[in-house]
Structure 1
Amino acid sequence: MKLTTLVLFWILPLGLNAQDSTQKLSFQPTIHVRSFWMSTSYQKDFKDDFAWGNSLSLGIKSNYLQKWYFRASIRGFLNTWSSDIYANDPLTNRDNRYETGLFDLLNRGDKAFLSFENLSLAYKSTKWEIEIGRMGVNTPWINPQDGRLAPTLMEGLRLGFNPSSDWKVSGWFIHRLRVRGTKDWLRPGETVGIFPVARDVNGLPSQYFNNTESRSILISEVEKESEWGTFNFSNTWAAHLFSTYWFQWERDWNREEKTSFFFTGLQLGFQHGIRNGGNDNPLLAFKDPSDQNWVVSTRVGWKNSKVEAHLNTSILRGKGRWLSPREWGKDAWYTFIPRERNEGYESLEALTAYFSFQYRRNIQLFGHMGFHWLPDIGDPLANKYAFPSYRQVNLGVKFHPKNYQKLDFQILVMNKEALGSQNLSPTQRYNKVEMIHLNIIANWSLN
């Protein structure tokens, strides 16, 4: 695969460029520069950390007859400046959870490295779309989760079919992933456990990293537009691990008649384990095959040309843990707030609110607040990460300079605190609550 990648990356663009005189083919470079400052501070007890990372993606994209599309890119990463992020916290002997994810979690300490990214060929018509190779992916449970120097990407096949203007059918076959925080392309099972593995159902350290067998992921999705709103149904099937069914309905009320309007959303999810959960030995398996969980998530909001606000709820119940590898993307439910996930629980109640204000055409202010009630920390089956119930607040700003449309900035400040008067040990607080987390991000792109 590496040899094929190199050949296609250098030879195919030259061949396409040579035919440019036909005026049927277009060819242009792609560039993406990202600079990311991240820091995590605690009031007491624990060590503070910071990291400044930069990445540069260079590539090409071309199309022939507005039907055939080719894309290729490679990205370089650099740890420009950081604290000793790979040293464990002295009090808890736990490693850093946030800043290390800017770089390569599988080769800790590498200051600079390269990663091949996009390498795909696509065909698009009015009804059909097919793409093969390495590409972006954005589905409910496999998605970019673009909170680091580069997003998660997939290698495989993507299909799309639009039988009419109000129907859309899509499918994905994922053979490998390049998850955020790594540079290597790995089989799905090999990616499970790159992020912290926490504890198994018996309360002992989980052992599924490098022991999980899952060679592919299949995703199917159907979307329907109607006068009653947008209906979406998908299934995410991860070989040997789990199958997740996801339904979503969203509607804007009287949007065509008013400058401001209400909107609502409903999500229903069901997940069950399949096969052996990733390994015939239960102590090495990622998931208990007998797990069955369901979730209901709701949204109600209001929006006009300057303001958007919504209130969200989620309730999770069932037998065993709802699991979706954190390496594969963010949560799909409405109560997700950036910089934390609610995965690995048997039950959950969450209430979150979002507010944004378009101060000027190029400045947006936004904020999240959420309350997340989790199972008892002392129950390892119900609470994989020994995470306390918590309150989270995010405040941020997005800025696009008027004279530099290809440049954008984002600042995000996050705080998490435990709910109530929980008697927490240092390991139940470090990396989890009682922190101020700061992100400053700059992007420049040509694509």
Structure 2
Amino acid sequence: MRRFLFGFLILVQFSVFAQQPEKKLKVSPDVHFRMFWMNTAYPNEEYKEDYALGSSLNLGAKLYYDKNWEFRVGYRVFGNLWSSDLLAPDPISRGNNRYEVGLFDLLNEEDRFFGKLENLSVGYSTSTWGVTVGRMPIESDWINAQDGRLSPTGVEGGNVWLSTANKWKFSAWGISKMSVRGTSEWLLVGESIGVFPVGRNPDGEASQYAGKTESDWIGILEAKKAWEHIDLSVSNTIVQNISNTLWIQGNRKWTHESTGVVWLWGIQTGFQSGLGNGGNGNQLFRYKNPKDKNWVVSTRVGFNNSAWNLHLNYSKVGGKGLWLSPREWGKDAWFTFIPRERNEGFGSLDALTAFAEYSIPNSSIKPFFHFGFHWLPALDSPSENKYNMPSYRQINLGVKYSPAVISKLDFQLLLMNKEALVNQDLKPTQEYNKVRMIHINAIVNWRWN
């Protein structure tokens, strides 16, 4: 792949001189600097408190040739500038750090400074179709950037898209490797599953699929169309030898002409089934039971105007087995997703969340608020509750700020609290990293592109 792309770049540069004068090569910088402070603490001071200050810098460029060709390259370096001992286990639960360690290299946790080739792609596009191959970003329903650390998740493969005269857009992805956030390497699809904590098997023992999952590729088909007041999107994600996930989403908007208020209603539905041998022929090492058949329904109501953006969301998951989507690959697609926690890995789920964001007039300051209840299966049912997670309530308070005096600079602050619902009798392993905690993020971003 690298030889092909570098060879293509040389060919394009040569063509600048060989073709007609109007065919020019345009170079645009692609630079992203991020500074990230993270801290996790517990009211029960016997649990281990952790903190980390990390930074990353992506140095790259976009090269455009003859209006149709685009070449993109970017290398990101990472640094652990200051942190607690993230490798030391918690003295009470014996659990490992979950949040701060993900800022750095989960595959080589002792490395304080490292780097990786984040982007390397070539594309050709017109007004109606395009194709890109190489290493690139992705934003699909179940594989996406999940940009909540020092770098986003990326993919290696190919993407083809087509727009029709009646405003349908179709796209297809073929993926052979993954760049998991918090790692320094590009991994095969099967290798990327198990980088994050693996939870437990249906028998209650620790899962052992990390490094033993067999899957060679991911295929995604997408179709989208926007009418005047309705948006519709459909996707189908096939993970070879593991699962197939069909996802449908529709949104309807109404505008109140006299007040400018826009009302919104959305509906999502999905169906997931196991494929092949679930990642390994040995039941002890497989990631997903191939007999699993799961469904989800999620809905949203809300409104927004010049100052406020508010919505209320509800999701219900059911079926046979566990709804699974590797946490290494992105955030949940359902409306009830709240940053800093995911709800995959359960056989059933009821979630109710609310979101409010306010744009302060004559400023670029936006305070926001998340609030949610998540009712999960019983803790003593590992076949229904993979991560041994208690039902919980989550609150996120935050603010976003983009100063007008410095272009493309933004600040984000997030304060998160999770508490177990009702008076659950929890073990240390069911509290540490999960509930009864305070988690803080402070982020600085600067982009030049």
With the shorter chain as reference, the TM-score category is over 0.9
1:184 alignment partner, SS class? coil
**Measured at CA, do residues 255 and 166 of structure 1 come closer, stay the same or move farther in structure 2, by a change above 3 Å?**
farther
| Cα offset, 1:16, TM superposition | 7.5
In structure 1, C-alpha distance between the alignment counterparts of 2:136 and 2:304, rounded to whole Å: 33
Deviations 1:138-189 (A, max 9, x none): 0000000000000000100001100125211111001101010111111111
1:261–1:303: 8 Å Cα contact kept in structure 2? Answer: yes
| Matched residue type, 2:232 | F
2:187 alignment partner, SS class? coil
The aligned counterpart of 2:26 is: 26
In structure 2, C-alpha distance between the alignment counterparts of 1:19 and 1:442, rounded to whole Å: 44
Q: Does 1:333 align with 2:334?
A: yes
2:277–2:286: 8 Å Cα contact kept in structure 1? Answer: yes
Q: How do 1:249-288 and structure 2 match up within 5 A?
A: 249-254=250-255, 259-288=260-289
Deviations 1:278-307 (A, max 9, x none): 000111000000000000000000100110
Deviations 1:196-242 (A, max 9, x none): 00100110010100000011000001112234511111100000000
| Cα offset, 1:123, TM superposition | 1.0
**Measured at CA, do residues 273 and 74 of structure 1 come closer, stay the same or move farther in structure 2, by a change above 3 Å?**
same
The aligned counterpart of 1:437 is: 439
| Cα offset, 1:109, TM superposition | 1.2
In structure 2, C-alpha distance between the alignment counterparts of 1:405 and 1:81, rounded to whole Å: 28
The aligned counterpart of 1:39 is: 39
| Cα offset, 1:25, TM superposition | 2.2
The aligned counterpart of 2:74 is: 73
Q: How do 1:272-421 and structure 2 match up within 5 A?
A: 272-360=273-361, 361-421=363-423
**Measured at CA, do residues 9 and 124 of structure 1 come closer, stay the same or move farther in structure 2, by a change above 3 Å?**
closer
In structure 1, C-alpha distance between the alignment counterparts of 2:13 and 2:147, rounded to whole Å: 31
**Measured at CA, do residues 8 and 352 of structure 1 come closer, stay the same or move farther in structure 2, by a change above 3 Å?**
farther
**Measured at CA, do residues 15 and 444 of structure 1 come closer, stay the same or move farther in structure 2, by a change above 3 Å?**
farther
User: Displaced runs of 4+ in structure 1, greater than 4 A?
Assistant: 1-5, 7-23, 255-258
| Matched residue type, 2:446 | W
**Measured at CA, do residues 26 and 94 of structure 1 come closer, stay the same or move farther in structure 2, by a change above 3 Å?**
same
2:429 alignment partner, SS class? helix
1:234 alignment partner, SS class? strand
How high is the TM-score relative to the length of structure 1? 0.96
1:9–1:119: 8 Å Cα contact kept in structure 2? Answer: no
2:16–2:23: 8 Å Cα contact kept in structure 1? Answer: no
The alignment yields a C-alpha RMSD, in angstroms, of 1.8
Q: How do 1:98-247 and structure 2 match up within 5 A?
A: 98-227=99-228, 229-247=230-248
In structure 2, C-alpha distance between the alignment counterparts of 1:263 and 1:143, rounded to whole Å: 24
| Cα offset, 1:93, TM superposition | 1.1
Gaps spanning 5+ residues in structure 2: where?
A: none
2:394–2:417: 8 Å Cα contact kept in structure 1? Answer: yes
How high is the TM-score relative to the length of structure 2? 0.96
| Matched residue type, 1:29 | P
In structure 2, C-alpha distance between the alignment counterparts of 1:426 and 1:407, rounded to whole Å: 41
| Cα offset, 1:66, TM superposition | 1.5
1:19–1:25: 8 Å Cα contact kept in structure 2? Answer: no
| Matched residue type, 1:375 | P
Deviations 1:214-273 (A, max 9, x none): 110000011122345111111000000000000000011136775112101000000000
1:342 alignment partner, SS class? coil
In structure 2, C-alpha distance between the alignment counterparts of 1:17 and 1:419, rounded to whole Å: 64
The aligned counterpart of 1:423 is: 425
1:17–1:27: 8 Å Cα contact kept in structure 2? Answer: no
**Measured at CA, do residues 257 and 182 of structure 1 come closer, stay the same or move farther in structure 2, by a change above 3 Å?**
farther
1:264 alignment partner, SS class? strand
| Matched residue type, 2:40 | T
Gaps spanning 5+ residues in structure 1: where?
A: none
| Matched residue type, 2:141 | P
1:310–1:354: 8 Å Cα contact kept in structure 2? Answer: yes
Deviations 1:316-355 (A, max 9, x none): 0000000000000000000000000001000000000000
2:201–2:386: 8 Å Cα contact kept in structure 1? Answer: yes
Structure 1, 221-230 or 94-103: larger mean CA deviation: 221-230
Paired residue total: 446
1:410–1:442: 8 Å Cα contact kept in structure 2? Answer: yes
| Cα offset, 1:82, TM superposition | 0.3
In structure 2, C-alpha distance between the alignment counterparts of 1:371 and 1:17, rounded to whole Å: 58
